[in-house]
Homo-oligomer: A and B are copies of this chain.
Amino acid sequence: MCAKMHRRKRVWHKVRRRTPPGTVPGTIHVDPSAPRPTIEVLAYDKERIVEERIENLDRLETLLGQWPVLWVNVVGLGDAATIARLGKIFGLHPLALEDVVNVHQRAKLEEYRDHLFLVARRVGLAERLETEQFSIFLGKNFVVVFQERPGDCFDPVRQRIRMDRGIVRAQGPDYLAYALLDAVIDSYFPVLEEYSEQMELLDEAVADHKPAETVGRIHELRTELLGLRRAIWPHRELVNALVRDPHPLVCDATRVYLRDCFDHTVQIIDMVETYREMCADLTDYAMMTAGNRLNEIMKVLTIIATIFIPLSFIVGLYGMNFRPESSPWNMPELQWYWGYPYALGLMAAVAAGLLAYFWHKGWIGASLRGTGGGRDRGE
């Protein structure tokens, strides 16, 4: 299980550039193991809506220009030719297309002559924390979205378009791009809620004197929050640039909504930073609690050992050879009929009593089972 947990980080923090150093810039270097692209189109205006799956890219050329908003959703980045063809149809810049297949970009906004290129990063806690790069091209009458894998967070947006809820059908592609970006950024909230839950559990675990069990998980949480921070931070700049810098493709009405989206981004960053600090505090707390436990154990050892050491010395000093002849008070036990069994029983009782005490304190069991964590059964 431990191994699987660390597999997690392998995916998270490692950056493997697809393009080997020195390649011609603008080359589309697809990952051969990536799924082949499937393309879905959703075109709409106030009255009409059409939704279809594209097999032949020529169909796109027909659609383009006929609708005020044409949303092309490309799932899977496994075929360079298709991506290059899409780039040609919508006039996308080669450097941007290179970034589309290099799925380790930081979130960013790039302005090209007649389209905007947005990179955003969704997070999710499936079996493990994973991120997915969304490359969004916003043109005068189209939005092209590239995503790595099937399964996205856009279904609510699709529903709003289909059901004509909200104002999305009345707005241009900039509003659609906003809605998609907002959906991506909203994907951070459930992850943060999950982390908040876990942090609370860890906090309680430390307070319950189980620091050892939490150490590994706190460390993992810190690493994952570091990754989350790395993922969310650049969105701030991205959304802020959209809000602040006037651009012909983004109208003022949409800008008000983007301001709301900016608020969310700032809130997420704020939470991630707070959680990072809480994790640091938690580490200190766990260290101090562990230190206190050691302190306590040392004290018990000190007390028991230092009391018995002088006693044993005295016992040894006299060899306990008091002459029974000299007095009836001198070690009568030695002549009892059950003397030896009595002594063995006394020792067994003391040993059992101590074991029970240690068990009650939570020191045994764990230590015998080879983990460092103790369990305090006493309240």
Which A residues are within 8 Å of any B CB, using their own CB? 2-3, 6, 9-10, 13-17, 20-26, 93, 95, 104-106, 108, 110, 153-157, 159-160, 165-166, 168, 182-183, 186-187, 189-190, 192-193, 196-197, 199-200, 203-204, 207-208, 211-212, 215-216, 219, 222-223, 226-227, 230, 256-257, 259-260, 263, 266-267, 270-271, 274-275, 277-278, 281-323, 325-327, 329-331, 333-341, 343, 346-347, 350-351, 354-355, 358, 361, 363-364, 367, 370-374, 376, 378
The chain B residue sitting closest to A119, CB to CB, is B263
Q: Is the CB of B334 within 8 A of A322?
A: yes
In the assembled complex, the Cα of A304 lies from the Cα of B13 at a distance in Å of 44
User: Which listed residue, B183, B215, B289, touches A21 by the CB 8 Å rule?
Assistant: B183
B contact residues around A95 at 8 Å (CB): 256-257, 260
Contact A343-B372, Cβ < 8 Å, known A10-B200, A337-B327, A363-B302 = no
Taken together, the copies of this chain in the complex come to 5
Kindly report which residue of chain B lies nearest to residue A302, judged by CB atoms.
B301
Contact A303 B110, CB 8 Å, known A230-B270, A316-B320, A318-B331: no
Pick from A223, A288, A299, A338 the residue with the most CB of B within 10 Å.
Answer: A299
A-B contacts, 6 of them at CB < 8 A, read A14-B196, A15-B196, A212-B292, A295-B297, A308-B312, A321-B334
B230 touches A274 (CB 8 A): yes
Question: If A153-B21, A361-B370 touch, does A313 touch B303 (CB 8 Å cutoff)?
Answer: no
Q: Which 7 A-B pairs have the closest CB atoms?
A: A22-B156, A24-B166, A21-B186, A319-B320, A315-B316, A292-B372, A296-B372
- CB atoms of B285 and A284 under 8 A apart: no
B315 near A313: Cβ-Cβ < 8 Å: yes
- Compute how far the CA of A229 lies from the CA of B289 in the bound complex, rounded to whole angstroms: 25
Inter-subunit contact B320/A355 (CB<8 Å): no
Q: In the assembled complex, which residues on chain B have CB atoms less than 8 Å from the CB atom of A340?
A: 320, 322, 327, 329-331
A252 CB to closest chain B CB (Å) equals 11
B302 near A318: Cβ-Cβ < 8 Å = no
Chain B residues within an 8 Å CB radius of A293: 295, 372
**A260 to nearest B CB, angstroms?**
5
Contact of A305 among B16, B183, B305 (CB under 8 A): B305
In the docked arrangement, what's the CA distance between A132 and B39, Å? 47
